[in-house]
Structure 1
């Protein structure tokens, strides 16, 4: 089974038997000649049974009493390989002869030879010459040399012991027999024979020609195929599975997650060497009064280990992603010489290790080091990474975990998925298996419910502390903003963009918890996983990153309920398409066309003709059955998108002193494009950090946290060795999850043109006063244009304002809570 990206890049192979099916025309003539010379030189002359060979085998049996010669033709081998066992019995032989005779009547010689060369077992799970070429030489069949062809042709006699991986000597001896047979039947010249006989042969296993290492995606595809077809059929049918993954975006996602985890891990400090075989506890003499156990001390071996000894010792430690184990050999003032497990030697200069102050806790780090000896010592087994310029740097395997998922919002096709730092480190796929609290990533959906219940981007909600007595718990619940800054009556655009916690709680109270829960379920969140209390406003609900990305896709596509999928199509071994995904697709054009069709059929007697004509939408095209249900209005999602755009770009007039930043301002600085919207999220105690955001054509969610739910992401102090461009202070969504989202989007958006968020037809824009959200005659920096659903725009002018009152807030409506405040 082969698993590919949507653009045809091989991700993985699964199965007991490795095959690369080839048409007879794709197999080099020299390869055919080699097999015919050694296996069945009269193949094109006999009717499936070679009487001369049978006679020879019979004579051998009579004279020796042993079944030394099988007399099997290629046709008989095809019969045995497809239908029979390899048992050496007369019964099996007779059946083999009868089947061979029948096969010759049904197929041409070339068809039989094609079956044989694709089916024959050739060792190391390789079945057929295409797979053997890849396994033993890492080549395609058209790239093989004559001696390589002869080696493969010699394998059918005993593939387990004649292959060069098991024994180069055996393989060379058998290869030379094949070359001699080819010379005897005049398939090669004597000059070719002499040259091929002298060619060296390597004994090395070549893994599948994987073009992209995406194991989390490959495992999801494998599980899907096993569930659909059963394990045996999935692994042995030669299926080609094409996923929805975009290879460029997938690589960008892998790089973003890996780098972000390394950056997080490094700023929290160095946890020390993996091991050091040169450390030993000194022995005490009988007179010693030492009571406390002695610390191990460095005892350099004599003589010092050479490169071979170091590499042999390092074989017990595996690498992860770009991390390669190495041993420190010598330490200078601000550098260290190392030997890596792959045999390369190099120097870690000060720039590659000066980050490594000691890790104390997730909240504390040691003093910045000044010398290399404060960090490493000879014999230390460490992790290293190589820079593009060839230099080496000290690193370590991150303890935190992360996930990144990207979708096409039109149909929720998964374009990129990363479930952790390394599949070799952990096969747990956090992209869809880890349910984590959302924190403020929930707020766009809360605000969406508010917009469906009479609120607008200009509505004022009190940004003021809340204190609610919970009689059942005997304590007061006091959700707080983070930072604890309160601005009084604040417009909803700012409330979402600046992630005001207390405003979210007040909206939940005003709209009603049950209305909020029902609204959130429209975005694909299971109702049973949405807590029925006020903690919901602060993100106490737990969902997997894939669920979150799916929800944001519905905002990005205008409110159409799409469902994520990974498998685009499946082909059999002959390239026939046996499955094609039929996803629900967001199609505003289709919806408009259906409306036009309805109006048309009400006015004409040709209803049936109209229905046939408009059954397929010419905009995509999309069959009506594939059109995703429109669960949230496009006006609603447009307003949410506007607030999320402000979370990245902020607002106001900086020159006039009214400018302000949203929580995702780093994305604006890095990407410098207006067609993006996003939302940060951090849970209570910073155990989970999120950033979800989108372009009209791409949605992505980034999460980071520890698999151990007890650990917090913590905080970091300033490291004087690293200068001003470093992240310090408490970890939260904007600092910890957003960098991976930015790094991914920098690549993923490269070929996507800048496009504005188009306002629906029933959206109007009017000038409002920034303080009150009411209409204004002024045109200075205290005003701005704001979007409203037509008919809901304010009618009162700020100049005539006496006392603004929010009619939706009822401070008497109180609900019990279960969690403390949370960060943005």
Structure 2
């Protein structure tokens, strides 16, 4: 027993020495190993300090039980080591968590930086749409998935706003773009129902999806949608969010926005909707086709009742109001979306045809374009009234079934009004831009303009008598001749013989070149009948040519588009047509003065206004085409009357002039009176271009023509009172004297024989005519006289309607 106690003491001393070393106290005696080396207890390193001893350790030491204390120390040592390792793991887990959180934060920040600007929302336009506006901003037509009835927040009825909030997003005013409570509620309901019975997308999320995203069901799209919704909520007011959402949400049957839906389903505006109708529309977003009252009225009513119940839950309406609305029978009045069809179809179709000139194919395919046009809506309405009224009320009596009008601002080249026919639904053929017709005497203006530009004087005299050049015989419409007359009198009375002679003197090449410079794009044939309008043109280009004169000789291409915006509201085309001087100012002043004579004492008298007017009538062969093109400094307008099958009319160009007058009276109301340029000095005037006279193979004048019963027996012998020469005939040489009927007299036309036509009634035929065009004549002299011209060929007409 004594030996056992001694051993315990020995172990206790060892333990005490080890503890003293641990505490930094020198041991008095350290036992040695059997081999004499100093040995340190193996538990010394991990023995905790006294302050950290466990109760078991303290008890063992007090009882002097070293074995128990050692074992307790070993247990404590293991526990302490485990705790250290555990703390090490927590450190690494914390670091990993911080890294993951930082990565997520960085990723969120990076994604947020790439989010589009909310500035796009107020001006957002869907892809595939096309909006065409008049000059004053009025929408003329909208195609594709466009919102046609845009409303401001102030125009939205409060009841309508409440219905959508109750149905789609009852915590709209509380959440920050994402409603986590709604997400939880929707998940719970969907789990219980084992089906998707409720969604959790807020109104803000739906707006983000409409404007920036697609309908793809993916995690990436959901994350982007949520982030964008929060950004929208931060940067836009709740009122703006509601306004844009209620204008853009698709509600079925081609209705985009609540304004369109009210019209499409009930044929009324939003402020006229009943509570039942409002709830019906508010119930459409989740499934516009399934809940459409045009598709399934019963389903629409059931969905309406759900919306009404939610409005009661939200406190927007009472139970009584809901019950009354549920009992209301829905009266559906289907209507076509507004502006899907144009009230100015000829013009808007022309605009669409012009778009490829200004934007690429890719941009057109993407769509979302808004086009600002040049159309003056009040003028367009008046033009429609004048032309359609004439077709209906005058056409049956005067033999024309179609008509067209073109109105241009000569200072800008902008097309301000366009009428292409009587009924676009029956015929989409635009007679203002597509119909190629003979302009008749209205083309004489270009012939005389060319002659004046070449230095001719309006007082130069020409012999109006029977005349044949290279087998071609121009005839005046009244089959009479007036003898020697000035160019000014000849254009005022629309004398055909003189016009042909002027063309011969100035030449085919300069005349055609002048016509092209003034705006004529159609092919012009170098024939004698060109002077009388035998080459076909369309109303747009002929009116554009006259606009060049109204703009002091500056050509600006007629156009209908001012600006084009892409779907984000950026300007991608801005019209910038620069004027080009193609006719010298002196020539413009003289021809304008001559054309004013057409109005004051010639064939254009019905077009007279309370201000200076210049213009010219035109009638093609057999009165197939009736024209009047007239202008004041601020406006130029052209009128055409005729038949699609090219049949003759029984009317005259005076009717066209009268219609021009009727339109212009309205268009110029309140418009300042501008004067034309002063007439320049005529003596010693030099031309700005060079004439290239035609050299005919043969000419003959002053002969008796049995076809029109005229010649020297008509009361005038054909002699020039200002020269000793009489009528003459030239053959083969291509030259002729100043007294020959094929040339002008350099002296002013005598006053006595100058023909002054008496005022004719408006029903009388005009004194102009375009005979059948002969074959083209080579300006160079030919060795032999050409054969007689063939019969006139009928011009191509648009398809009959």
TM range (shorter): 0.5 to 0.7
Correspondence 1:18-417 to 2 at 5 A:
18=147, 20=149, 27-46=156-175, 50-59=179-188, 62-63=191-192, 65-78=194-207, 80-81=209-210, 86=215, 92=217, 94-108=219-233, 110=238, 113-114=242-243, 116-138=245-267, 141=270, 144-190=273-319, 192-193=321-322, 196-197=325-326, 199=328, 201-210=330-339, 213-225=343-355, 228-229=358-359, 238-267=368-397, 400-417=401-418
Query: Alpha carbons of 1:243 and 1:78: their partners in 2 closer, same or farther (altered >3 Å)?
Result: closer
| Among candidates 603, 617, 620, match of residue 663 of structure 1 | 603
Which ranges in structure 1 are unaligned for 5 or more consecutive residues?
A: 269-361, 363-397, 471-475, 585-627, 651-661, 716-730, 766-799
Q: Is the 8 A contact 2:462 2:741 kept in 1?
A: no
Where does residue 431 of structure 1 map in the other structure?
Answer: 432
* Residue 165 of structure 1: how far off its partner (Å): 3.1
Q: Is the 8 A contact 1:244 1:413 kept in 2?
A: yes
Q: d(CA) in 2 for partners of 1:820 and 1:462?
A: 27
Q: d(CA) in 2 for partners of 1:495 and 1:821?
A: 25
Where does residue 635 of structure 1 map in the other structure?
Answer: 586
TM-score, structure 1 as length reference: 0.63
Q: d(CA) in 2 for partners of 1:235 and 1:145?
A: 40
Which ranges in structure 2 are unaligned for 5 or more consecutive residues?
A: 1-129, 685-720, 727-735, 744-776, 780-785, 794-801
Greater strand percent: which structure? 1
Where does residue 354 of structure 1 map in the other structure?
Answer: none
- 2:652 is equivalent to residue 522 of structure 1: no
How large is the RMSD of aligned CA atoms in angstroms? 3.5
Where does residue 139 of structure 2 map in the other structure?
Answer: 10
Q: d(CA) in 2 for partners of 1:807 and 1:633?
A: 30
* Residue 742 of structure 1: how far off its partner (Å): 2.6
Q: d(CA) in 2 for partners of 1:194 and 1:582?
A: 62
Match of 1:157, SS?
coil
| Among candidates 633, 658, 674, match of residue 696 of structure 1 | 633
Q: Is the 8 A contact 2:474 2:497 kept in 1?
A: yes
Q: d(CA) in 1 for partners of 2:532 and 2:627?
A: 13
| Among candidates 508, 520, 524, match of residue 503 of structure 2 | 508
* Residue 229 of structure 1: how far off its partner (Å): 4.7
Query: Alpha carbons of 1:577 and 1:192: their partners in 2 closer, same or farther (altered >3 Å)?
Result: farther
Show CA shifts across 1:85-109 (max 9, x none). 657xxxx264454233312442216
Q: d(CA) in 1 for partners of 2:159 and 2:368?
A: 26
Where does residue 615 of structure 2 map in the other structure?
Answer: 678
* Residue 15 of structure 1: how far off its partner (Å): 1.5
Q: Is the 8 A contact 2:501 2:742 kept in 1?
A: no
TM-score, structure 2 as length reference: 0.65
Q: d(CA) in 2 for partners of 1:492 and 1:435?
A: 28
Where does residue 745 of structure 1 map in the other structure?
Answer: 664
- Which has the greater radius of gyration? 2
Query: Alpha carbons of 1:818 and 1:129: their partners in 2 closer, same or farther (altered >3 Å)?
Result: farther
Give the paired residue count.
574
- 2:547 is equivalent to residue 553 of structure 1: yes
Q: Is the 8 A contact 1:457 1:491 kept in 2?
A: yes
Q: Is the 8 A contact 2:447 2:511 kept in 1?
A: yes
* Residue 581 of structure 1: how far off its partner (Å): 2.0
Match of 1:402, SS?
strand
Where does residue 449 of structure 1 map in the other structure?
Answer: 450
Query: Alpha carbons of 1:635 and 1:230: their partners in 2 closer, same or farther (altered >3 Å)?
Result: closer
Query: Alpha carbons of 1:559 and 1:47: their partners in 2 closer, same or farther (altered >3 Å)?
Result: closer
* Residue 150 of structure 1: how far off its partner (Å): 2.1
Q: Is the 8 A contact 1:480 1:821 kept in 2?
A: no
- 2:652 is equivalent to residue 732 of structure 1: yes
Q: d(CA) in 2 for partners of 1:642 and 1:542?
A: 27
Q: Is the 8 A contact 1:647 1:663 kept in 2?
A: yes
Correspondence 1:579-590 to 2 at 5 A:
579-584=573-578
Q: d(CA) in 2 for partners of 1:705 and 1:155?
A: 52
